[in-house]
Amino acid sequence: MTLRYVTTNPGKVREAEEYLDEVAALDYDYPEVQATGLGPIAAHGAREAYRYAGEPVIVDDAGLFIEALDGFPGPYSSYVENTLGVELTGRVAREAVDEDAVARAAFRCVVGYCDGDDFAATPEPVDRGERRGQDLAADDRDTATTDAQVAGGDDLPVKLFTGVVPGRIVAPRGDGGFGYDPVFEHDGTTFAEMDAAEKNAVSHRGRALAKFAGWFAER
């Protein structure tokens, strides 16, 4: 059975192909819930994508979290890219810190996997939909949801894998990658100056996908 990477973003699929031999893109714009954490968005998206595809799926929800802006744009990164734009968002971030200070930021990514079956909660969280209506702000952290917390949920189980990469916001450089890559520098190089393999080796998505690939290979 093929694994489908459900996304409207071809840049994500290019990166995923580095990790997963048997992944095929499925271009479907699944309905996204509005939440302040990436975990619930990825979990909801994975269920929607699985119901649509009818075979095993992964989705990922990613965002840029700028420290001086209190984590903005975070889960709203897509909206902000389409409205403010990458360059202006970068400029706002750099102006929010003192002249000599570094505009620190992090990219975060949560990969959600759903195949209709159940799985154990550890080492990474499982979302069974039981958190709807609760405060969803802080539940996309790396900490595993405990079995006690997930018991009683009645929705399709989704396995979540988180990846984070620290960096700084700089004036745009490079023309590779996509989205905010030109303004995100990690160890002196922007993501847009890296090729897909170099970006994957350190990126939020690469880290989340590496965890997923290890777990999936055992499954």
Q: Which is nearer to ligand ITT, 80 or 126 (CB)?
A: 80
Residue among 3, 4, 12, 161 that touches ligand ITT (CB under 6 A): 12
Residues that contact ligand ITT, how many (by CB under 6 A): 19
Q: Of residues 178, 196, 198, 210, which one binds ligand ITT by CB under 6 A? A: 178
Max CA separation in the chain (angstroms):
54
Q: By the 8 A CB rule, do 79 and 131 touch?
A: no
Contact predicate 160/131, CB 8 Å: no
Min dist CB 96 to ligand ITT, Å, is 19
Question: Of 21, 27, 29, 61, which one is the catalytic site residue?
Answer: 61
C-alpha span between 77 and 110 (Å, rounded)? 14
Query: Binding segment for ligand ITT among 17-25, 74-82, 96-104, 147-155 (CB under 6 A)?
Result: 74-82
Q: Does 36 bind ligand ITT (CB under 6 A)?
A: no
CA distance 207 to 209: 5
Query: Does 140 sit near ligand ITT (CB under 6 A)?
Result: no
Tokens of 138: 């802080």
Q: Are 28 and 13 in contact (CB under 8 A)?
A: no
The answer to whether the CB of 124 falls within 8 A of the CB of 154 is no
Indicate whether 62 belongs to the interface with ligand ITT (CB under 6 A).
yes
CB of 194 within 8 A of CB of 173?
Answer: no
The dihedral through the CA atoms of 70, 74, 75, 78 has a sign that is positive
Structure tokens at 157: 């189980």
- Whether 61 sits among the annotated catalytic residues: the reply is yes
| Interface with ligand ITT (CB under 6 A), residue from 19, 71, 81, 132 | 81
Query: Is 52 an interacting residue with respect to ligand ITT (CB under 6 A)?
Result: no
Nearer to ligand ITT, 72 or 191 (CB): 191
Binding residues for ligand ITT (CB under 6 A):
7-9, 12, 60-63, 77-78, 81, 177-181, 191, 203, 205
Q: Which residues are catalytic?
A: 61
